[in-house]
């Protein structure tokens, strides 16, 4: 409630200041004719972030406002406040503060961004105008792969134009690196920051301390015709989290029939080491005004090492006996379970990511009227993972004496548990299969590879007279191939493990094998799980015991189904007329154009009949189709620095790449409504994109040129096609039933992604950036930035007619930043709010999983001082930051209820740093 009151108060103050500033600036406008004289090149330059030397928070804000005002599209922008430094720790956090955008936390890190209520898969990310690949399973870029120290600015396009190739349905994020010839002289910046997580060393062998280091060098040679920029950024940051997760809440239990009972519980201490090295290089050569060529190189290597130690206990779903149950409002809030078998897990997950991008761009000015651009680019991403699980407990599931009793109390943020045994005592714990899962451990090695080539040619014909300032046309070709391989998936067994059937004997019985944990592997002290009432569990180093296991590869259709390749060849031809004229006395700028997009997509995978993964057969599929994407952007300049923008266009988002896989699993149903019929599930290589007719309007009021602004915008997306997963009728003619009798009809049911039609997404946005001295000189140095967006969707399943929830859609998103900057001192407090939404995370088996994520309010603080020019410490600045200052938890819940699924407390991150620039 206090947060909402704060938001209302700040919004009211913004409007009052805006009104005051409007009155003061009404008589100080640049003549409208000045806008008419702006050349086409000026308009195009406004859409990119030309790098100039700026310092301080306010200078960066004004530079971003200048980009927004000069654009002919509806855009949002952020700009580096200094070389090698953005206002936030990560690009994702900076982008998430823009109107209509929101960030999703992944393992406590700001990683993926949604635009206008749509997940990252609906947008496209560019680097210097070129489409980027992803280390994830689909298209969404993980922004923590891009060090903020190496990015000079970001433009987010909310409306399309014909020359913007690779645009998304929700929007397009274009990251920019520096252009060295935009600087007048040599620039060198060195930055160092140390950090600490307030949760401390939750796992004693993983530090809560970390650091960041970066250096940027920019220089010019050969009479400023040759420019070179090199940047290096190193990150070693810890992650520490207390996490609790529920299996679910069954109602069919004997102890409290009909009530929601906790089915199982995980109490976890999570620690991670995140190490990233990023390298950026730019060579720019401009020997004359008629020729310029630039080579961009970018490389990032990100190694994540996660240690997870936790107690996992089956409760309502374990066969344990419930007594003393207390039921309130249909939920079992306390009770006692007897006959439980806790599983003590010491897991280790690693990710090794590599990302490389290269682009070569050459610009030619043939004469006064004709210009051309040739661009060649390459982008590749790879991810290698290891997911290692090891189990220990009181004894194997075959031991009748290895049971325990647990009292539980629900309520608060997480439940509280009281067990009857001491799980911190190594003498009571052995390596084994305490849960009866048929394995003493498990390991997976998934691999993802994504590669994209692109070549582009553009031409522009300038006009001296008429309403059109120029004609642009061109051709772009991209070839993208994404591969996912399951790699080895295997049981880890201390005893028998016949033919991938798990840790069982020849008769299929649980092996019951045990092993003593070597004293040399035990980590002291054991992990503390006191946040859920559990004193702790035995901790050991998984690397020291891995050699004790026998590796038994798993042969199963789920493993085979994770092996696929998707290829896309996309050819885009476009033409666009740029508008620069007057509509009566009102200057009007903009563009009108069309893209013709030809797509040839295909996929290779496997069809797995009757769970017989060893009998999998290759399968391929694909489709060829054309899309036509018209676009219109108009910007009207009115007196008193007012701008009205209107836009209309057709936008598309290509479907998730894992949904485009050719893979199929096929069976004959043995029970249920489909008993005796063919049934299957898999991908759809013929899947077509999401496509919408989009309409936008934006009113913007600027103050003092680019010192501040207030804007209100609305948008409506009329969906022509979209994608959802559904069960449809399918012809299984030609499929071999094996030894089973064939169904009477070849028509069965198949669960697969399909294209639907109809539906809409719409909303409105408010944004403001106001320096307070516009209203009162005594407030010089103070200012406010804020935004609020409200988004609604209306989509029904094409088969069932039921409403569908779109991934990434938060109905309400707002951000507020208060800042102060004067005489070298700077301070900033920011708060971002996101209402509940359907998110996508990496779930069990490294597969994508959809989870309902609760609302959150994240507060960040920043304080700094820059020594004055001419002083002995000229060029030096210091910075102190507190991220997630209120320790806002990350919370998931089960759909259709308020029952908690996951609760994570990532703690606060304290950072102190120094920057030296000369």
Q: What is the pLDDT of residue 667?
A: 86
Q: What is the DSSP string of 500-528?
A: GS-SB-TTS-B----BPPPGGGB-SSPEE
**CA dist 868 to 30, 175, 343, 643, Å?**
33, 31, 60, 37
Please tell me the distance from the alpha carbon of residue 380 to that of residue 394, in angstroms, as a whole number.
47
Neighbours of 126 (CB within 10 A): 22
Give pLDDT, residue 411.
85
Find the largest Cα–Cα distance for the chain: 93
Tokens, residue 561: 């189904």
Closest C-alpha to 753, from 674, 805, 689: 689
686 contacts: CB under 8 Å, gap ≥ 6 = 621, 622, 623
And the tokens for 741? 């009798």
**C-alpha angle with apex 312: 308 to 317, nearest 5 degrees?**
150
Cβ burial 762-780 (10 Å sphere, 16+ → b, else e): bbbbbbbbbbbbbbeeeee
Query: Across the strands, what pairs with 726?
Result: 752
pLDDT in tens, 559-585: 888 899 999 999 999 999 999 999 999
Q: How far apart are CA 682 and CA 290, in angstroms?
A: 54
Non-local CB neighbours of 5 within 8 Å, separated by 6+ positions: none
Distance CA 828, CA 355 (A): 33
Please, what is the Cα angle at 869 between 867 and 875, to 5 degrees? Answer: 60
3-class SS at 133?
A: coil
In sequence order, the 6+-apart residues with CB closer than 8 A to the CB of 362 are: 291, 292, 293, 294, 373, 374, 375
Q: Residue 661 corresponds to which tokens in the numbers above?
A: 């896989």
Burial 800-820 (b: 16+ CB within 10 A, else e): eeeebebbbbbbbbbbbbbbb
* Pair 175, 125: CB distance under 8 Å: yes
Query: Minimal CA–CA distance to 33: which of 435, 427, 586, 780?
Result: 586
The vertex-898 CA angle with 897 and 902, nearest 5°, equals 110
Cis peptide before 43 (omega within 30 of 0): no
Angle at 448 between CA 111 and CA 302, to 5 degrees: 45
Distance CA 283, CA 275 (A): 27
Alpha helices in 295-365 (DSSP H): none
Q: What is the C-alpha to C-alpha distance for residues 345 and 307, in angstroms, rounded to an integer?
A: 10
Contact of 127 with 134, CB cutoff 8 Å: no
Q: What is the DSSP letter of 779?
A: G
H/E element, 154:
strand 153-157
Query: 130 forms bridges with which residues in the sheet?
Result: 127
* H helix or E strand, kind and range, residue 34: helix 32-36
Burial tier of 574 (Cβ tally within 10 Å: 0-12, 13-18, 19+): buried
Whole-prediction pTM: 0.88
Taking the CA of residue 907 as centre, how many other CA atoms within 13 Å lie in the half-sphere pointing to its CB?
21
8 Å CB contact between 829 and 817 = yes
Rounded to a whole number of angstroms, the CA Rg of the chain reads 29
Token pair in block for residue 859:
């507060």
Supply the pLDDT for residue 9.
39
Distance between CA 574 and CA 887 in Å, rounded? 49
Report the residue count for the chain: 918
* Rounded Cα gap, residues 75 and 248, in angstroms: 43
Average pLDDT, the chain: 88
Tell me which H or E stretch contains 817: strand 812-822
What was the pLDDT predicted at 44? Answer: 38
Per-residue pLDDT tens digits for 13-61:
444 444 444 444 434 333 333 333 333 343 334 333 343 333 577 888 8
Give the span between the Cα atoms of 812 and 792, in whole angstroms.
9
Per-residue pLDDT tens over the stretch 403-460 = 999 999 998 889 999 999 999 999 999 999 999 999 999 999 999 999 999 999 999 9
- Contacts of residue 89, Cβ cutoff 8 Å, sequence gap at least 6: 110, 148, 881, 883, 911
Q: Give the H or E element holding residue 62.
A: helix 56-70
| pLDDT at residue number 579 | 97
Quote the tokens at residue 771.
């320096």
Distances (CA, A) of 865 to 46, 57, 115, 915: 31, 12, 34, 10
> In whole angstroms, what is the distance from residue 653 CA to residue 649 CA?
14
> Is residue 664 within 8 Å of residue 682, measured between CB atoms?
yes
Rounded Cα gap, residues 411 and 416, in angstroms: 8
Sheet holding 321-328, edge to edge: 321-328, 331-340, 404-409, 416-419
Residue with tokens 């503390």: 528
Distance, in Å, from the CA atom of 470 to the CA atom of 481, rounded to the nearest integer, reads 36
Show the low-confidence residues of the chain (pLDDT under 50). Answer: 1-54
Contact 262, 408 (CB under 8 A): yes
- From the centroid of its chain, how far is CA 181? 33
Token digits for 770?
């106001």
Whether residue 49 contacts residue 77, with contact meaning beta carbons closer than 8 Å, is answered with: yes
Q: What angle do CA 681, 685, 688 make, to 5 degrees?
A: 115
Distance CA 90, CA 429 (A): 42
In 3D space, the residue among 574, 571, 573 whose CA is nearest the CA of residue 480 turns out to be 571
Distance separating alpha carbons of residues 241 and 550, to the nearest angstrom = 32
Tokens describing residue 114? 């949604």
> What's the rounded Cα separation, in Å, for the pair 249 and 71?
52
Residue 369 neighbours by CB under 8 Å, 6+ apart = 461, 462
Would you say 272 and 306 are in contact if contact means Cβ atoms under 8 Å apart? yes
């Amino acid at each position: 409630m206090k947060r909402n009151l704060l938001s209302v108060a700040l919004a009211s103050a913004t409007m009052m200041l805006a009104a005051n500033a409007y009155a003061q600036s009404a008589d100080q406008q640049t003549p409208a004719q000045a806008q008419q004289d702006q050349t086409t090149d000026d308009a195009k330059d406004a859409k990119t972030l030309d790098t100039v030397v700026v310092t301080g928070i306010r200078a960066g804000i004004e530079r971003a406002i200048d980009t927004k005002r000069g654009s002919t599209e509806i855009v949002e922008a952020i700009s580096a406040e200094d070389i090698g430094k953005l206002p936030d720790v990560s690009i994702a956090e900076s982008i998430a503060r823009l109107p209509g955008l929101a960030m999703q936390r992944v393992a406590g890190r700001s990683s993926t961004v949604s635009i206008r209520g749509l997940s990252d898969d609906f947008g496209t990310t560019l680097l210097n105008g070129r489409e980027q690949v992803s280390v994830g399973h689909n298209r969404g870029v993980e922004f923590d792969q891009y060090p903020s120290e190496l990015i000079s600015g970001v433009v987010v396009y909310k409306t399309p134009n014909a020359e913007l190739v690779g645009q998304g349905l929700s929007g397009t994020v274009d990251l920019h690196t520096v252009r060295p010839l935009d600087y007048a002289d040599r620039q060198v910046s060195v930055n160092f920051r140390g950090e600490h997580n307030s949760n401390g060393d939750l796992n004693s062998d993983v530090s809560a301390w970390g650091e960041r280091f970066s250096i940027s060098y920019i220089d010019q040679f050969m009479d400023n015709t040759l420019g070179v920029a090199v940047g290096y950024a190193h990150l070693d940051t810890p992650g520490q989290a207390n996490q609790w997760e529920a299996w679910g809440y069954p109602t069919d239990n004997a102890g409290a029939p009909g009530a929601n009972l906790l089915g199982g519980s995980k109490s976890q201490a999570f620690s991670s080491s995140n190490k990233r090295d990023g390298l950026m290089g730019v060579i720019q050569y401009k020997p004359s005004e008629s020729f310029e060529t630039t080579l961009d190189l970018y490389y990032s290597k990100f190694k994540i090492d996660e240690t997870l130690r936790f107690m996992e206990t089956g409760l309502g779903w374990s066969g344990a006996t419930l007594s003393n149950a207390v039921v309130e409002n249909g939920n079992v809030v306390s009770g006692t379970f007897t006959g439980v078998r806790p599983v003590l897990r010491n897991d280790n997950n690693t990710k090794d990511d590599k990302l490389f991008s290269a682009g070569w761009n050459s610009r030619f000015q043939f004469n006064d009227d004709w210009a051309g651009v040739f661009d060649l680019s390459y982008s590749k991403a790879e991810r290698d993972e290891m997911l290692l699980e090891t189990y220990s407990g009181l004894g194997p599931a075959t031991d009748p004496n290895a049971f325990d009793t647990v009292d539980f109390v629900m309520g608060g943020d997480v439940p509280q548990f009281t067990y009857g045994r001491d799980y911190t005592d190594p003498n009571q714990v052995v390596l084994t299969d305490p849960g009866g899962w048929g394995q003493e451990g498990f390991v997976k090695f998934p691999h993802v590879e994504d590669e994209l080539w692109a070549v582009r040619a553009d031409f522009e014909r300038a006009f001296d007279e008429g309403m059109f300032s120029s004609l642009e046309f061109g051709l772009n070709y991209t070839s993208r191939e994404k591969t996912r391989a399951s790699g080895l998936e295997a049981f880890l067994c201390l005893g028998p493990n016949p033919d991938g059937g798990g840790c069982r004997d020849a008769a299929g019985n649980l092996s019951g094998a045990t092993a003593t944990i070597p004293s040399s592997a035990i980590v002291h002290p054991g992990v503390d799980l006191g946040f859920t009432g559990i004193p702790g569990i035995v901790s050991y180093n998984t690397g020291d015991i891995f050699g004790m296991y026998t590796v038994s590869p798993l042969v199963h259709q789920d493993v085979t189904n994770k092996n696929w390749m998707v290829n896309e060849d996309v050819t885009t031809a476009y033409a666009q007329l740029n508008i620069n004229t007057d509509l009566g006395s009102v200057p009007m700028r903009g563009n009108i154009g069309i893209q013709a997009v030809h797509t040839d997509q295909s996929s290779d995978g496997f069809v797995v009949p009757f769970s017989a993964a060893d009998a999998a057969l290759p399968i391929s599929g694909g489709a060829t189709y054309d899309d036509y994407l018209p676009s219109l952007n108009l910007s009207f300049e009115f007196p008193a620095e007012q701008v009205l923008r209107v836009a209309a266009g057709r936008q598309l988002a290509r479907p998730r790449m894992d949904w485009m896989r050719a893979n199929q699993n096929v069976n004959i149903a043995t029970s249920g409504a489909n008993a005796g019929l063919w049934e299957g599930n898999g991908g759809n290589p013929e899947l077509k994109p999401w496509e919408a007719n989009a309409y936008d309007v934006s009113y913007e009021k600027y103050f003092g040129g680019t010192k501040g602004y207030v804007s209100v915008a609305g948008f409506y997306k009329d969906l022509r096609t979209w994608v959802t997963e559904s069960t449809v009728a399918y012809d299984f003619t030609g499929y071999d039933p094996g030894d089973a009798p064939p169904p009477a009809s070849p028509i069965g049911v198949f669960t697969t992604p399909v294209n639907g039609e109809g539906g809409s997404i719409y909303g409105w946005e408010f944004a403001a950036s106001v320096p307070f001295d516009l209203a009162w000189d005594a407030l010089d140095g103070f200012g406010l930035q804020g935004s609020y967006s409200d988004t609604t969707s209306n989509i029904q399943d094409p088969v069932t007619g039921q409403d569908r929830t779109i991934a990434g859609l938060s109905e309400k998103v707002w951000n507020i930043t208060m800042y102060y900057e004067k005489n070298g001192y700077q301070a900033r407090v920011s708060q971002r709010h996101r209402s509940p939404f359907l998110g996508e995370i990496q779930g069990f088996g490294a597969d994508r999983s959809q989870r309902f994520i609760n609302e959150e309010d994240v507060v960040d603080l920043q304080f700094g001082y820059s020594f004055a020019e001419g002083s002995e410490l000229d060029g030096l600045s210091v910075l102190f930051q507190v991220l997630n200052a209120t320790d806002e938890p990350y919370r998931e819940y089960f759909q259709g209820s308020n029952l908690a699924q996951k609760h994570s407390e990532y703690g606060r991150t304290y950072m102190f740093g120094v920057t030296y620039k000369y």
